[in-house]
Amino acid sequence: MDNLYRDFILEHYRNPHNQGVLDPHDLHFADSNPTCGDELSMTLRLDGGRVEIEDVAFEGRGCAISQASASILTDTLRGMTLDAVRAIDPKAVLDDLGVPIGPARLKCALLGYKVLQGAVAGESVEWPAEAEAV
Amino acid sequence: MTVGAQPQATPGAFSGTARRADFPVFERTTSTGNRLVYLDAAASAPKPAVVIEAMRDAYSHHYANVHRGIYELSEDATGRFEAARRKVAAFLNAPSEREIVFVRNATEAINLVAYSWGRTNLRAGDTVVTTQLEHHANIVPWQQLTREVGAELRYVAITDDGRLDLEDLDRLLATRPKLVAVAAVSNALGTINPVREITQRAHAAGALVLVDAAQAAPHMPIDVQDIGCDFLAISGHKMLGPSGIGVLWARRELLEAMPPFLTGGNMIIRVTMEGAEWNEVPQKFEAGTPAIVEAIGLGAAIDYLTDIGMPNVREHERYLFQHAWAALGEIPDVRRFGPDDPDIHAGVISFVLDAVHPHDMATILDHHGVAVRAGHHCAQPVMQRYDIPATTRASFYVYNDLDDVEALADAVRAAVTLFAG
């Protein structure tokens, strides 16, 4: 427990970065985790050429893992090209949490990633293989 | 009554701690070095060694197909399978074991009624009544049925403290529904519904009554003749039996009149290339080779529970409920769901804390060795009623005792401390 709920995670949960809704925005997507009903929505603003991300914000209600993961992920997005976003490795998202995620919580940890990919794709995307326990 | 106050044993109660020795799973210690505190009986119950042994013995020494072989081994297997049916009939006080249909689980039992009775008897414009506190298993089959035949599905509302609003039931009964489908115990809230009274009111309005007893039959005496209902569904795995076996009880004249649900072998008397004649009940509803050994395992589970005595099981859980309800109530900001009254609250407690999401709560409890369920409990209309995404749910059974209640309360306090920073 001390591992999973390190101060780093709890700090992001209590004071999430990039919280809110961007108005105006270029991309918007919302999705939920069917196992717990956690909801997360994300808005993104792009540069003039619609190549890279200028700004990002997310809103949601959910567990510490899903909210902290979205907070940490969105911190990395400014200046990133959409192609680079599409190429984000879900394993890296899990690694960035810095704590081991048990099989029952993988979808919590990857909800932000799934919403981000949905926003870029303009439609719901499937859970990555990393969200399924092996 | 609080956990720290040296509780008195209640009359009829027994030692859950001592019962733990009957269940091999409690030999396990968790990866965090804790003893296993299993508080998720409402999802599925551990198996006592007597059930496991009965199944091992059946497979080892008494196994052949049933109702087929003209040889001693098959007759032996058939005898044991049918003995299990008689045990279920006695457990539910059914007038006849011919009213006991073996299915996979309560979900399948309800689907059987929806497909067979429902599609035969329901017409466009008819109404089915269920309630807002049902498990999805007692909602979705009726949604599908009413959609298919053009009937309407109405829901009895629930009160702020998680009871069925019986005035709302009366309003819905005034529309003369064909069927009322209601849980005896809510798996999400723990509410014990007055199914006997509901049945009387429904019958007076001309409706048949299906009782989903999946959450009740493991934990309290169930008497289908006393309830007076028409259909009743149970799941073996929640009552210390194996998964893959459940029971539909229905009044014999209803079963006689209903068409088969699944068709094939065993459920026929005679098949020609032009058609088939159905077997008598309950075989008419048991197409194909049944879950033979699972039924025998369920019979062993019923023996185990009957040996304890279902009134004692109920009394034990009532006792644990009262202590757990009080212990959780003492933790600041814990919101508990369902009625305060232990007479109408089973050994299931759903709770939330604003500061700790149910998923985080369950993970932290798990690290203390405490296994609970977090989520919507397959009862999303209940979550919608209280505008919450999920709850944490602790549920008790015969192997639980006050040390488990204390472990739960301690772990919840630890979670609160951790999240308070």
**Looking at beta carbons, which residues of chain A come within 8 Å of B390?**
36-37
**Looking at beta carbons, which residues of chain B come within 8 Å of A63?**
357-360
Angstrom distance (rounded) from CA A56 to CA A113: 13
Q: Are B360 and A10 within 8 A, CB to CB?
A: no
Angstrom distance (rounded) from CA B198 to CA B194: 6
**Looking at beta carbons, which residues of chain B come within 8 Å of A61?**
389
Q: Which of A10, A38, A105 sits opposite B421 (nearest CB)?
A: A10
Q: Where are the beta strands (DSSP E) in B176-288?
A: 179-183, 208-212, 231-235, 246-250, 268-271, 276-278
Average pLDDT of chain A is 91
Q: What is the CA radius of gyration of chain A?
A: 14
pLDDT band for position A33 (cuts 50, 70, 90): confident
Angstrom distance (rounded) from CA B100 to CA A16: 56
Nearest residue of A to residue B357 by CA position? A63
Note the pTM of the prediction, 2 decimals: 0.93
Which residues numbered 19-38 in B keep a CB inside 8 Å of some CB on A? 32
Interface of A with B (CB under 8 A): 1, 4-5, 7, 10, 14, 35-39, 61-66, 102, 104-105, 108
Contacts of B178 (CB under 8 A, 6+ apart): B121, B122, B126, B127, B128, B151, B207, B208
Chain B interface test: which of A11, A36, A97, A107 (most B C-beta within 10 Å) = A36
User: How close, in Å, is residue A11 to chain B by CA atoms?
Assistant: 9
Q: Which of A1, A36, A39 sits opposite B359 (nearest CB)?
A: A36
User: How close, in Å, is residue A81 to chain B by CA atoms?
Assistant: 33
Using a pLDDT cut of 90, give the percent of chain A over it.
75
| pLDDT tens, position by position, B117-163 | 999 999 999 999 999 999 999 999 999 999 999 999 999 999 999 99
**Looking at beta carbons, which residues of chain B come within 8 Å of A64?**
357, 360, 419
Q: Are A108 and B374 within 8 A, CB to CB?
A: no
Which residues numbered 31-90 in B keep a CB inside 8 Å of some CB on A? 32
Contacts of B419 (CB under 8 A, 6+ apart): A5, A10, A64, B355, B356, B360
**Looking at residue B400, what is its pLDDT?**
97
Q: Are B360 and A63 within 8 A, CB to CB?
A: yes
Residue with the two structure tokens 């006050």:
B402
Single-letter amino acid code for the residue at B90: A
Give the residues of chain B that fall short of pLDDT 50.
1-9, 11
Nearest residue of A to residue B384 by CA position? A37
Tokens encoding A18: 């990039």
Which residues numbered 366-405 in B keep a CB inside 8 Å of some CB on A? 367-368, 374-376, 380, 383, 389-390
Q: What is the CA radius of gyration of chain B?
A: 22
User: How close, in Å, is residue B335 to chain A by CA atoms?
Assistant: 17
Angstrom distance (rounded) from CA B323 to CA B277: 56
Residue B219's Cα: distance from chain center in Å?
9
Q: Are A36 and B418 within 8 A, CB to CB?
A: no
Would you call B378 a catalytic residue per the annotation? Answer: yes
User: How close, in Å, is residue A92 to chain B by CA atoms?
Assistant: 22
A40-76 in b/e form (b: 16+ CB < 10 A) is bbbbbbbeeeeebbebbbbbbebbbbbbbbbbbbbeb
Angstrom distance (rounded) from CA B79 to CA B85: 10
ipTM of the complex: 0.86
Q: Which of B308, B326, B378, B383 is catalytic?
A: B378
Centre a 10 Å sphere on the Cβ of residue B61 and count the other Cβ atoms it contains. Answer: 10
Number of Cβ pairs < 8 A linking chain A and chain B = 55
pLDDT band for position A61 (cuts 50, 70, 90): confident
Cα-Cα end-to-end distance for chain B: 30
Tokens encoding B204: 């007076």
**Looking at residue A15, what is its pLDDT?**
93
Q: What does DSSP assign to residue B356?
A: B
Q: What does DSSP assign to residue B11?
A: T
**Looking at residue B1, what is its pLDDT?**
37
Task: Give Cα separations from B157 to A34, B364, B397 (angstroms).
Answer: 25, 34, 29
Angstrom distance (rounded) from CA B77 to CA A62: 51
| pLDDT tens, position by position, A88-129 | 999 999 999 988 888 888 999 999 999 999 999 999 999 999
User: How close, in Å, is residue A64 to chain B by CA atoms?
Assistant: 7
Q: Are B367 and A61 within 8 A, CB to CB?
A: no
**Looking at residue A3, what is its pLDDT?**
66
Q: Are A36 and B374 within 8 A, CB to CB?
A: yes
**Looking at beta carbons, which residues of chain A come within 8 Å of B30?**
none
**Looking at residue B225, what is its pLDDT?**
98
**Looking at residue B268, what is its pLDDT?**
87
With H, G, I as helix, E, B as strand and everything else as coil, classify residue A113.
helix
* The pLDDT of residue A71 is above 60: yes
Q: Which of B32, B380, B389 sits opposite A38 (nearest CB)?
A: B389
Q: Are B375 and A4 within 8 A, CB to CB?
A: no
**Looking at residue A134, what is its pLDDT?**
56
**Looking at residue A100, what is its pLDDT?**
84
Length, in residues, of chain A:
134
